[in-house]
């Protein structure tokens, strides 16, 4: 029997219209958007279904929007293939998606998870506003080549390796001039640079101001050991102690995302059937670069 793992997407996978068909077809999914409106104080469903994109794409909105829309996709899967959900044995999520994974695992409730995600998004948006910065993907280069790009681009400003996504896809994050210089250096090294549409330099020390707000709200949230293991972005390990989980989630804001290591940890644990649960197909695409033989199915409304 296959060992199933769920993967939950992160910021950047959002798009206008996400979740609309699912909410129309599945009352249990629609109820998540209704409950979210009560927690957030605004009509999240309207922003997800109708936009405008300019507002949906802001960090403060896109994070709770993806969190709820991914869990809505999970409700569709639960209705259509209950055995798959019941037999899921491990999970992971990319950045914001780690919170979705933790809620699925029962580490925190839907409402509490949404409150943390809302605060996280707002705090990261505020930190981004205070530091004009961004992120750029370095495609077709190995990690050593990207590290050299970072070193050379640092003459233009602060810049870090922020996301290790898959072979040939590493994300740099930092001050705007440094990211622009990095894009030039990536091209010179024979790679392809892809600036990301994000508000700032996520997963770097430039997000440090967001940690205090996140720590404050996490202290008020009930966290308990999950019913299945969730692999952490920070160290590609599983954590079950509530206080340890709080510290890991705080570190995640300023530490690199070790996504390739997370997936390899799931594979090493015996997982051989994967489901990307939520908007987009980014994680499925990354999986093909990590291990093309592994079955990974998309669960969304597109």
Task: List, for residues 191-211, the tens digit of each pLDDT value.
Answer: 999 999 888 999 999 999 999
User: At 55, which CATH number?
Assistant: 3.40.366.10
Active site residue 95: yes
Q: Residues 171, 213: one domain?
A: no
Q: Residues 268, 122: one domain?
A: yes
* Structure confidence at residue 6 (pLDDT): 98
* Structure confidence at residue 46 (pLDDT): 98
Q: Residues 210, 113: one domain?
A: yes
Q: Residues 225, 153: one domain?
A: no
* Structure confidence at residue 197 (pLDDT): 81
Q: Residues 62, 166: one domain?
A: no
200 lies in some domain: no
pLDDT-flagged residues of the chain (< 70): 302
* Structure confidence at residue 44 (pLDDT): 98
DSSP secondary structure of the chain? ---EEEEE--TT---TTTTHHHHHH-HHHHHHHHHHHHHHSS-HHHHHHH--HHHHTSHHHHHHHHHHHHHHHHHHHHHH-HHHHHTEEEEEESTTHHHHHHHHTTSS-HHHHHHHHHHHHHHHHHHHHHS-EEEEEEES--HHHHHHHHHHHGGGS-EEEEEEEETTEEEEEEEHHHHHHHHHHHHHTT-EEEE---SS-TTSGGGHHHHHHHHHHHHTS-----SS-EE-TTTS-B---HHHHHHHHHHHTTSPB-HHHHHHHHHHTT--EEEEESSSSHHHHHHHHH-TTSEEEEES--
282 lies in some domain: yes
Q: Residues 10, 69: one domain?
A: yes
Choice among 62, 69, 70, 95 that is catalytic: 95
Q: Residues 79, 19: one domain?
A: yes
Q: Residues 94, 28: one domain?
A: yes
Choice among 203, 232, 239, 298 that is catalytic: 203
Q: Residues 218, 290: one domain?
A: yes
Q: Residues 241, 277: one domain?
A: yes
* Structure confidence at residue 301 (pLDDT): 86
219 lies in some domain: yes
Q: What is the pTM of this model?
A: 0.96
Q: Residues 13, 106: one domain?
A: yes
Q: Residues 64, 140: one domain?
A: no
User: At 176, which CATH number?
Assistant: 3.30.70.250
217 lies in some domain: yes
Last residue of a domain, one of 175, 195, 215: 195
Q: Structural domain of residue 278, as residue ranges?
A: 4-128+205-299
Task: List, for residues 212-255, the tens digit of each pLDDT value.
Answer: 999 999 999 999 999 999 999 999 999 999 999 999 999 999 99
Number of domains in the chain: 2
């Amino acid at each position: 029997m296959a060992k199933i793992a769920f993967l939950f997407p992160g910021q950047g996978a959002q798009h206008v219209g996400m979740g609309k068909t699912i909410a129309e077809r599945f009352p249990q999914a629609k109820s998540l958007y209704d409950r979210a409106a009560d927690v957030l104080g605004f009509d999240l469903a309207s922003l997800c279904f109708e936009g405008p994109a300019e507002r949906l794409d802001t960090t403060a909105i896109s994070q709770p929007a993806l969190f709820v829309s991914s869990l809505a996709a999970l409700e569709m899967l639960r209705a259509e293939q209950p055995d798959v959900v019941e037999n899921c044995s491990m999970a992971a999520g990319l950045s914001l998606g780690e919170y979705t994974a933790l809620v699925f695992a029962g580490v925190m409730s839907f409402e509490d998870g949404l409150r943390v995600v809302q605060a996280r998004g707002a705090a990261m948006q505020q930190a981004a506003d205070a530091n004009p910065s961004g992120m750029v993907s370095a495609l077709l280069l190995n990690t050593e080549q990207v590290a050299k790009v970072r070193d050379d681009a640092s003459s233009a400003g602060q810049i870090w390796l922020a996301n290790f996504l898959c072979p040939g896809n590493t994300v740099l994050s930092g001050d705007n001039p440094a990211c622009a210089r990095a894009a030039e250096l990536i091209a010179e090294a024979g790679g392809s640079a892809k600036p990301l549409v994000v508000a700032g330099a996520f997963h770097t020390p430039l997000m440090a101001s967001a940690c205090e707000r996140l720590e404050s709200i996490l202290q008020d949230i009930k966290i308990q050991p999950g019913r299945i293991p969730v692999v952490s972005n920070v160290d590609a390990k599983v954590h079950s102690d509530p206080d340890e989980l709080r510290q890991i989630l705080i570190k995640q804001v300023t530490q690199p995302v070790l996504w390739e290591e997370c997936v390899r940890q799931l594979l090493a644990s015996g997982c051989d059937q994967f489901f990307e649960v939520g908007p987009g197909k980014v994680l499925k695409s990354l999986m093909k670069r990590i291990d093309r033989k592994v079955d990974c199915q998309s669960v969304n409304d597109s």
